[in-house]
Amino acid sequence: MGFLSNTVLSEQAEQITHPLVRRLFLRARGSSPAGTPQRVVPLVVVAKIASRCNLNCAYCYMYNQGDLSYRSQPKFMSETVQQSLFDRVKGYCLRNQLSEVTIVLHGGESLLAGPSRIVSLAHRAREHLLPAVRPRLLLQTNGTLLSEEWLEFFSRLGIGFSISLDGPPTVNDRNRLDHLGKSSYGRVEAALRLVLNSRHASLLTSVNALIQPTTDPIALYEHFRNLKVPVVDLLWPEATHDRPPLPSVAGPGETPFADWLICVFDAWFEDMAPSVDLRLFTNLVKMVFGGHGSTTNMHHAGYIGDPYAFVAVCEADGGLEPLDVLKVCGPEFTKLGLSVHNDEIDALNTEMQRAGALGGQLCGACRKCSLRPVCAGGGLSHRYSAINGFDNPSVYCRDLTKLINHVRARILSSVPSGLRLELERDYDSSRLTSQKTAEEQFSDARSHFPALELTEG
């Protein structure tokens, strides 16, 4: 169908009676189609402004997945490191004709850096980068330290932020406890209510929640809906082929993550006009209509149909590293010997390309798969094995296939037959026209990469 004029778009949208589907159809078809190549690859810089955390989350890839390199980091990023970082960012953007850069203030727990450091960093970023490059400042926090004073700071500095909360207390406190083993839920829930009831609510970009198939999916959805959270990013647990997710739960042929997500999707879809935007599903629906998926989370790009952002991480000591979730691939896996004091950001790109670890470098099975434009191969860390490196399908391949096919079927069944036939005709062999089952597609991938046997538990 491609890009449509406003008149044609409105006429087609009027045929759709489901409010959610109609809204996402307009968003998807009113933008450039998914097949339109991006002119530039956006840069996302993750600045580790604090290397410690006041929580001890069991699944944390920074502290509890075997990489102990944080122990050698200074507690906070110095002004000298910040200056070198912004010099490198500006140079990279000018060489690559980028007029904007996203800078994510991260940790550890970023708010441990304190207001003065964050204010200084924000001013320094703008002094170094403007007017040639516009910095978009975001911050990730666990929410336990958030206060009205912090919200005033963020408002004055123009910093958007996301909060991590895994759901109701019984779900959140399975993993997100402090160093004394005490619950974090009460503090985070109170902070979230403070934000949502304040004049600064628009600064909240999302609430991040881990996908946990052993919990009640409907309870999680209703929890966020009742809290009136506007946007939720459902995040896949970090895993590799050497450390598969839920090895004791998922048996051969089972799809626990897809089954859980399908329950959430159906509840969300049947709300007709849900008050909470579950961006994982929003992206999928837009992709069904041939649009681009928006970035679900700037720090976790590449999970479902995301544009490939080039992610550069600056550690507190100035170390220049790839996406920090790659720490799950092994101790000091992200340590490449690069530093913002000595190396350009381009050097990181070169090292990652040499390792076959850039987002678009997919294995043979993924390149041939009809679902590739939607899942984009899955998360980068999810493709890793010690034997093949990143030359594997995702450990979530079977789950992704089942979820995508389910969402597509529900969306297409909700549109009038004429429009449905038109959409079906638009899908060629490289898109969503495959009639294979999830099991058949997964078997194709497994025949190319035996390491996928590990995902069967």
Question: What's 95's domain CATH number?
Answer: 3.20.20.70
In a domain, 3, yes or no: no
d(CA 310, CA 46) in angstroms, rounded, equals 11
Bridge partners, residue 192, by sequence: none
Identify the pLDDT of residue 31: 59
My answer on whether 312 and 400 are in the same domain is no
pTM of the shown model: 0.88
d(CA 457, CA 444) in angstroms, rounded, equals 19
Banded pLDDT at 34 (limits 50, 70, 90)? very low
Has residue 445 got a pLDDT over 80?
A: no
In a domain, 444, yes or no: yes
Q: Which residue has the tokens 């026209």?
A: 433
d(CA 443, CA 16) in angstroms, rounded, equals 36
CA 290 distance to own-chain centroid: 20
In a domain, 6, yes or no: no
d(CA 381, CA 395) in angstroms, rounded, equals 9
In a domain, 228, yes or no: yes
Identify the pLDDT of residue 375: 85
Peptide bond into 131 cis (omega under 30): yes
Has residue 442 got a pLDDT over 90?
A: no
My answer on whether 403 and 317 are in the same domain is no
My answer on whether 85 and 214 are in the same domain is yes
Domain closes at, from 333, 354, 375 = 354
Q: Which contiguous run of DSSP H or E holds residue 105?
A: strand 100-106
CA distances from 387 to 252, 367, 390, 391 (A): 22, 20, 9, 9
Beta carbons of 241 and 228 less than 8 angstroms apart: no
Indicate the number of domains in the chain: 2
Percent of the chain with pLDDT over 70: 82
**Per-residue model confidence as pLDDT tens digits over 296-314:** 343 444 455 444 578 899 9
In a domain, 202, yes or no: yes
In a domain, 378, yes or no: yes
My answer on whether 381 and 340 are in the same domain is no
My answer on whether 323 and 364 are in the same domain is no
The sign of the dihedral angle between the CA atoms of 408, 409, 413, 418 is positive
Which conformational region is residue 32 in: left (phi greater than 0), alpha (psi within -120 to 50 degrees), or beta?
Answer: beta
My answer on whether 71 and 48 are in the same domain is yes
Domain closes at, from 330, 354, 378 = 354
My answer on whether 334 and 377 are in the same domain is no
My answer on whether 433 and 378 are in the same domain is yes
d(CA 80, CA 253) in angstroms, rounded, equals 52
Identify the pLDDT of residue 360: 61
In a domain, 23, yes or no: no
Domain closes at, from 306, 331, 354 = 354
Peptide bond into 108 cis (omega under 30): yes
Instruction: Label residues 88-110 b or e (16+ Cβ within 10 Å = b).
Output: bbbebbeeeebeebbbbbbbbbb
My answer on whether 103 and 176 are in the same domain is yes
Residue 138 has, within 13 A of its CA and on its CB side, a CA count of 18
My answer on whether 291 and 373 are in the same domain is no
Q: Look up the domain containing 397 and give its range.
A: 360-456
My answer on whether 425 and 386 are in the same domain is yes
In a domain, 27, yes or no: no
**Per-residue model confidence as pLDDT tens digits over 200-222:** 999 999 999 999 999 999 999 99
d(CA 434, CA 428) in angstroms, rounded, equals 9
My answer on whether 288 and 394 are in the same domain is no
**Per-residue model confidence as pLDDT tens digits over 238-288:** 999 999 987 655 666 789 999 999 999 999 999 988 999 999 999 899 888
For helices 256-270 and 397-413, what crossing angle results, to 10°?
20
